[in-house]
Amino acid sequence: MLKVRELRVAYGGIAAVKGVDLDIADRETVCLIGCNGAGKTSTLKALARMLPAHGEIRYRGDDIVQWPAHRLIGEGLALVPEGRGVFARLSVLENLAMGAYCRDDRGEIESDLQRVLGLLPRLEERASQLAGTLSGGEQQMLAIGRALMARPKLLLLDEPSMGLAPIMVQKVFEVIQTIAAEGVAILLVEQNAKLALSVSSRGYVMDSGLIVLADSSAMLLDNPKVREAYLGGE
């Protein structure tokens, strides 16, 4: 599904991602953990072509490293950005419609909308409300729902738990697991390493722009270094 080699991103000469290799198989859920400033968001933005990058990003056979961002979603690669990025002045339904912007199969879009609203019932109650008036958790649900409206094959999620109350975090992760069970490949970036590892099959640990560990989630959860640095030393 995705094969990344030697990915590099720099902000005006300062390197943020310094040669990252990643692989994601079909239907696989993989997480990318690391502390603040490790370069996780920069990596995802590069994958979603929101930042100029060097290296190889092979997505379903094509090297997309030079593609413009707007070409990706039509090919099934969707990003739920850090901080959600819902369109505050568009209604919930309009935000969802934006997710299907590239599609022209009207009937299918309508049935996907019903499916997304079924998966995220809070959105249904607030369908005509402006997205900017939703709570943080609802906005996160909306950002995920919006990405689902594109029928993604690979979903990139940047810190979906950020700023949410524990109960909401749990709900968001239940939704992520449902999506994964439907066969969507997922790359999950999280600060909440324990939770991320618990829903993924493999994990990458990032530090200062490099992947410093790559292993199965079970092994990472047991790894003493990971436990100490990212799991609060439990």
Ligand X SMILES: Nc1ncnc2c1ncn2[C@@H]1O[C@H](COP(=O)(O)OP(=O)(O)OP(=O)(O)O)[C@@H](O)[C@H]1O
Which residues are near other proteins by CB under 8 A?
Answer: 48, 50, 68-74, 78-79, 81, 85, 87-90, 94, 97-99, 101-102, 146, 150
- Rounded-to-integer distance, Cα 161 and Cα 37, Å: 17
- Rounded-to-integer distance, Cα 100 and Cα 95, Å: 9
Handedness of CA 10, 152, 165, 198 (dihedral sign): negative
Residue 11 binds which entry of ligand X, Mg ion, other proteins, none, CB below 5-8 Å type-dependent: ligand X
Among 30-38, 63-71, 114-122, 167-175, which window interacts with ligand X (CB under 6 A)?
A: 30-38
Instruction: Report the amino acid identity of residue 48.
Output: A
Residue 94 binds which entry of ligand X, other proteins, Mg ion, none, CB below 5-8 Å type-dependent: other proteins
- What are the two backbone dihedrals, phi and then psi, of residue 23, each rounded to the nearest 5 degrees? -135, 140
Comparison of 100 and 156: residue with beta carbon closer to ligand X = 156
Give the list of residues 6+ apart from residue 47 with CB closer than 8 angstroms, or none. Answer: 2, 4, 7, 57, 77, 79, 156, 187
Residue number of the CB atom closest to Mg ion: 41
Comparison of 177 and 191: residue with beta carbon closer to Mg ion = 191
Comparison of 50 and 221: residue with beta carbon closer to other proteins = 50
CB of residue 78 to other proteins, shortest distance in Å = 7
What does the block give as tokens for 213? 């560990």
* 22 alpha-carbon distance from chain centroid: 14
Per DSSP, helices labelled H in the chain are: 40-47, 92-99, 106-119, 121-125, 136-148, 166-181, 193-199, 217-222, 224-230
Asked if 85 interacts with ligand X (CB under 6 A), we say no
Residue 220 binds which entry of ligand X, Mg ion, other proteins, none, CB below 5-8 Å type-dependent: none
- Rounded-to-integer distance, Cα 93 and Cα 83, Å: 19
Asked if 41 interacts with Mg ion (CB under 5 A), we say yes
Asked if 11 interacts with ligand X (CB under 6 A), we say yes
CB of residue 91 to Mg ion, shortest distance in Å = 28
Asked if 36 interacts with ligand X (CB under 6 A), we say yes
Site residues for ligand X per CB under 6 A? 11, 16, 34, 36-42, 82, 191
Site residues for Mg ion per CB under 5 A? 41, 82
